[in-house]
Amino acid sequence: MKARELRELSLPELKEKLSRLREELFNLRFQKSIHRLENPMRIRNIRRDIARCLTVLHEKESKIGER
């Protein structure tokens, strides 16, 4: 997911997206531990999506705080 797409979402939508990404990361780590993970690069991509989501979330929250 691109940061541009994340910036179009509202704060509640971003928090929901972050929650779903963290849940997916948990599931992928679980699959990795039992050696059922088909695409190990998926973990890296999800971690980066979480970081993007957190960055955009902090940007939006700081803009609200400045007002």
- Name the residue range of residue 29's domain: 3-66
Res 23 pLDDT > 80: yes
Percent of the chain with pLDDT over 70: 99
pLDDT band at 9 (very low <50, low <70, confident <90, very high): very high
**Overall pTM surpassing 0.85 (yes/no):** yes
Total domains in the chain come to 1
- H-assigned helices in the chain: 3-7, 11-33, 41-66
CATH number at residue 61: 1.10.287.310
Residue 66 confidence (pLDDT): 79
* pLDDT tens, position by position, 34-47: 999 999 999 999 99
Asked whether 1 and 49 are in contact (CB, 8 A), the reply is yes
pLDDT band at 22 (very low <50, low <70, confident <90, very high): very high
